[in-house]
Amino acid sequence: MPTDPGSEEITDSTGSIKDLILEQEEAASLIKNRSLLEPNEIVDEERIVGRDTQLTDITQHLRVAISNERPPNLLLYGPSGTGKSLIINAVCQNIVELCENRDIRFGVIQMNCQNVGTLGAAVYELARKVANDIGTTVDVPEHGVPNKKKWRELYRLINDHYDTVVFILDELDMLVGRRDKDEPAFSRLLYQLSRAGSTDEITAQVSVTAITNDTKMMESVGSRALSSFTPEDVHFSDYDANQLREILRAREDAFHEDALSDDVIPLAAAFAAQTNGDARKAIDLMRTAGSIAEKTGADEVREEHVREAQDKVEKNRVLEVTRGISTQKKLCLFATAAVAREAGTGAAKSPIGYRVYQYLTGTLDSDQYHQETYVNKMKELTTYSLVETERKSQGPHSGSYLEFTFGENPETIIETLREDSRLDDVHGDELRTVVNAQLNQ
């Protein structure tokens, strides 16, 4: 039987693939428990740091489930990476165990809404997750049926298998979908789920926990949903550098003993503290720094590995966010980041950003929107934690403007966006000249 010449070449030059895998395993001598370096890993409660108030509040709200009572609806809000999903999952995991001991059928169904396009898709995904949790299948197709049938199937699955169910809707504000009378899809989802217990179609008790980074999400919720959802609010603030150091020290045993130099944890915490106190970023920095150190054959993780990891993590996060946004949002973001870079402050005034946006759309022969639309698109980008907005005054007779402040290095955003070939016609030197001319007016 003929062999693949490519396969022979690999084994001739490097030995067998198994040998290569074993070599790499031997070289990877710094990290011993990679799961502890996964930001979304549900960790033991002794590793949860800096969230005592939120942990107590959520526990008090949800504990009634162990008495077979309906927990209240919750709204968890605050910046990305501040422990919202970590805490709610940790509490629910313990309630599930306590309910099992009391023969109470308590279910927890979590859905991240970021990649769910429509209300119908969201309802089907919830039904699918319930079916997976109880080991059965969904009896209606995903496409080609009215949403009412999907809702009935979801209710049937819940009624047959749960006494109480908590739906955790992560990044709920991302479920915009098709609007109905200017009401976004997430508002209609909240309305249906939160009123489910008051209908004849469902006998189980339903509680909804909405998680969002957008502090103004509830302003977009319709009046019907507001009156039926009425959540208990739990706010999550940024972690400070000290808390981030504690979080990383609580996961230090992910590495072998003496695998970290003394400056690794303080530096990783400091980098994460600069970008909204994001614990996910701090943990990701540690993991990436460890992987870089292993690949280079280092005997420990050192400062230079953290600095290299910082560059890599920033670019990866920006790439992940920008990959899915529209061309117009990319142009708005690119123009604003260019202003922030040249200003040297990491911030850009909206009027200057808009004039640079006009230059970009003219250069690329692209559609050009009014300043109000530019501002709205930049505001929408705040939900990705790339920028923050603040209204400022130019003086008593000059009106006001929005200032956009970047959480990431503007240069990193520009470099990442330049991977889109549609920006090839924007020349770097000319862009800098245009931006500086606007800044010096």
Answer yes or no: is 83 a known binding residue: yes
**Residue 247 to residue 226: CA distance in whole angstroms:** 36
E-strand stretches of 96-212: 106-112, 164-170, 205-212
Q: Which two tokens stand for residue 59?
A: 């526990």
Given a cut of 70, whether residue 399 has pLDDT beyond it is: no
Answer yes or no: is 377 a known binding residue: no
User: Do residues 253 and 36 make contact, with C-beta atoms less than 8 angstroms apart?
Assistant: yes
Give residue 243's region: left, alpha or beta (phi > 0; psi -120 to 50).
alpha
Distances (CA, A) of 306 to 37, 72, 242, 268, 431: 14, 42, 18, 7, 32
User: Do residues 44 and 36 make contact, with C-beta atoms less than 8 angstroms apart?
Assistant: no
Given a cut of 60, whether residue 3 has pLDDT beyond it is: no
pLDDT grade, residue 379 (50/70/90)?
confident
Could you give the domains of the chain?
51-235 (3.40.50.300), 240-320 (1.10.8.60), 325-440 (1.10.10.10)
Given a cut of 90, whether residue 79 has pLDDT beyond it is: no
CA-based nearest residue to 211, from 244, 167, 178: 167
Of 4-13, 164-173, 187-196, 407-416, the range with the lowest mean pLDDT is: 4-13
Average pLDDT over residues 221-230: 89
Instruction: Give the pLDDT confidence of 172-208 residue by residue, as tens digits.
Output: 988 876 665 667 889 999 999 988 877 777 889 999 9
User: Do residues 212 and 190 make contact, with C-beta atoms less than 8 angstroms apart?
Assistant: no
Q: Which amino acid is at 177?
A: G
Q: What is the pLDDT of residue 54?
A: 95
**Residue 38 to residue 398: CA distance in whole angstroms:** 49
Distance of CA 230 to the CA centre of its chain: 24
Q: What is the pLDDT of residue 181?
A: 60
Instruction: Give the pLDDT confidence of 259-287 residue by residue, as tens digits.
Output: 999 999 999 999 888 866 788 889 999 99
Q: What is the pLDDT of residue 28?
A: 57
Residues of the chain with pLDDT > 90, as a percent, come to 50
Given a cut of 80, whether residue 132 has pLDDT beyond it is: yes
Answer yes or no: is 80 a known binding residue: no
DSSP line for 214-237? -TTGGGGS-HHHHHHH-PEEEE-P
pLDDT grade, residue 75 (50/70/90)?
very high
Q: What is the pLDDT of residue 214?
A: 79
Given a cut of 50, whether residue 7 has pLDDT beyond it is: no
Q: Hunting for tokens 């614990």 — which residue is that?
A: 279
Q: Which two tokens stand for residue 242?
A: 């000290």
Average pLDDT over residues 362-388: 86
**Residue 125 to residue 118: CA distance in whole angstroms:** 11
Residue ranges in 46-83 assigned as alpha helix (H): 52-62
Answer yes or no: is 330 a known binding residue: no
Q: Which comes out higher in pLDDT, residue 305 or 386? A: 305
Q: Which comes out higher in pLDDT, residue 306 or 196? A: 306
pLDDT grade, residue 416 (50/70/90)?
confident
**Residue 334 to residue 410: CA distance in whole angstroms:** 9
Computed over every residue of the chain, the mean pLDDT equals 86
- CB burial of residue 256 (10 Å; 0-12, 13-18, 19+): middle
Q: Which comes out higher in pLDDT, residue 408 or 280? A: 280
- CB burial of residue 409 (10 Å; 0-12, 13-18, 19+): buried
At residue 253's C-alpha, the angle toward residues 23 and 282, to 5°, is 95
Instruction: Give the pLDDT confidence of 38-60 residue by residue, as tens digits.
Output: 877 777 788 888 899 999 999 99
Answer yes or no: is 319 a known binding residue: no
Check the CA dihedral 284-285-287-291 and report its sign.
positive
**Residue 97 to residue 168: CA distance in whole angstroms:** 18
